[in-house]
């Protein structure tokens, strides 16, 4: 064998495990998730809560994956899910009972009682004329 043959041979490459970057300490996404989840609970009667809840869930997931602090993110995800549940139950209740509402005589009894008391108080002579 020739010594020149081994002189130009490439060394074997050294393979290393890729190093994951350490998780950060930030809580920004968690706070944003919690705030949006709380606001979406307050607005569960509107359709806006669904949009806010979806954003809150997305920000909570980002916080869980990228950072060490998980408490605020979990709180944001839970409040967003509660908001979606409340909004859905509200709309199911509204649409389930929509056909059963009778709006023809909704306040009829109230107005009849009100007008009778009003006439008795402010027009006492009018009642006496009806009796004649």
Give mean pLDDT, residues 93-98.
82
Q: What is the four-CA torsion angle of 72, 77, 78, 81, rounded to 10 degrees?
A: 160
pLDDT at 129 over 70: no
Task: Calculate helix-pair angle for 108-122, 124-131, nearest 10 degrees.
Answer: 100
For residues 36 and 27, what is the distance between their CA atoms, to the nearest angstrom?
14
Q: What percent of the chain lies above the pLDDT cut of 70?
A: 77
Give mean pLDDT, residues 5-26.
70
pLDDT at 41 over 80: yes
Task: Calculate helix-pair angle for 71-97, 48-66, nearest 10 degrees.
Answer: 160
């Amino acid at each position: 064998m020739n010594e020149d043959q081994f002189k130009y041979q490439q060394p074997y490459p050294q393979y290393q495990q890729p190093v994951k970057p350490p998780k950060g300490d930030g809580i920004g996404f968690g706070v944003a998730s919690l705030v949006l989840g709380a606001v979406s609970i307050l607005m569960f009667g509107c359709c806006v809560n669904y949009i806010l809840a979806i954003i809150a869930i997305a920000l909570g997931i980002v916080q869980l994956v990228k950072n060490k602090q998980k408490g605020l993110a979990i709180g944001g995800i839970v409040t967003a899910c509660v908001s979606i549940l409340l909004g859905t139950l509200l709309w199911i209740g509204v649409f389930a009972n929509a056909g059963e509402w009778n709006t023809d005589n909704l306040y009829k009894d109230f107005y009849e009682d009100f007008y009778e008391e009003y006439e008795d108080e402010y027009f006492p002579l009018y009642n006496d004329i009806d009796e004649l």
